[in-house]
């Protein structure tokens, strides 16, 4: 399994790395001192397993999980035993390791991770973008037409045969294409910044290098789309 380690303490990352090295089935591809760097990496790469600390500056481990669209398996690594109940509210979390981590306990966590099969979203035509009218977008989800207030949408992401529409209140997974919803969103408010992402320009919090921060999502901006993004900003 390809895995990454996220922990703000270098010593903790080194210890987990050593434990991983003792397991032939694990391949540590990257390690990160904070969640922001890890989010940028995961926007471009897939992994099978994440070793994640809970207490980190800026983003907690739970904040980080909330940013992931389709999270891989996660093993929490922490010095705090008080969040175990909260942790298992997340389907992606397969184990909760309290530091210091013994090799025996680590091995049991890996066995759990290897036994968990990731559930994929079934294909089908039940969820579709249907129509838009004024400030409203209608999507067909499980044979129900759901009305979405267009200005409340801050991000649309392509995920294979599906798109995920993120709003201020709720996220919607819809069987459609990015092109189809792009045609229905007002170009005065929305911009395609990457082949997989459309953003609400008004919701941008920060821009750094070739990425933008919206809510807690770090979105890559392709080189070809960056000039148009910069034109749309009200620069001082």
The architecture of the domain spanning 2-115 is 3-Layer(aba) Sandwich (3.40)
Residues of the chain with CATH 3.40.50.2300: 2-115
- CATH number 3.20.20.110 is the correct assignment for the domain at 128-232: no
Strand order across the 93-98 sheet: 27-32, 2-6, 49-53, 73-78, 93-98
pLDDT in tens, 187-235: 889 999 999 999 999 999 999 878 999 988 999 999 889 999 988 887 7
Has this prediction a pTM greater than 0.85? no
127 confidence band (pLDDT: 50, 70, 90): low
Q: Is the pLDDT of residue 48 over 50?
A: yes
DSSP E strands in 89-231: the ranges are 93-98, 128-133, 136-141, 144-149, 153-159, 162-167, 171-175, 190-194, 197-200, 204-208, 211-214, 217-220
Under 8 Å between Cβ of 114 and 23: no
Residues of the chain with CATH 2.40.50.1020: 128-232
CA–CA dist 101, 83 (Å, integer): 16
């Amino acid at each position: 399994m390809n895995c990454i380690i996220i922990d703000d303490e270098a010593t903790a990352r080194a210890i987990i790395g050593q434990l991983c090295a003792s397991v032939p089935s694990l391949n540590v591809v990257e390690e990160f001192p904070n969640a922001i760097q890890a989010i940028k990496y995961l926007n471009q790469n897939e992994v099978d397993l994440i070793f994640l600390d809970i207490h980190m500056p800026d983003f907690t481990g739970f904040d980080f999980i909330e940013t992931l669209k389709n999270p891989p398996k996660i093993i929490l690594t922490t010095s705090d035993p008080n969040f175990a109940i909260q942790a298992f509210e997340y389907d992606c979390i397969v184990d909760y390791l309290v530091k210091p981590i013994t090799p025996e306990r680590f091995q049991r966590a890996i066995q759990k991770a290897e036994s968990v099969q990731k559930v994929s979203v079934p294909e089908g035509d039940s969820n579709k973008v249907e129509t838009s009218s004024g400030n409203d977008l209608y999507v067909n989800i499980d044979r129900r037409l759901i009305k979405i207030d267009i200005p409340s949408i801050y991000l649309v992401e392509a995920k294979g045969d599906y798109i995920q529409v993120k709003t201020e209140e709720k996220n919607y997974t819809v069987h459609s294409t990015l092109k189809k919803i792009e045609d229905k969103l007002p170009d005065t408010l929305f911009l395609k910044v990457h082949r997989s992402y459309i953003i609400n320009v008004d919701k941008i919090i920060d821009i750094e290098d070739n990425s933008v921060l919206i809510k807690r999502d770090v979105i890559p901006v392709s080189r070809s789309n960056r000039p148009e993004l910069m034109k749309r900003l009200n620069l001082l």
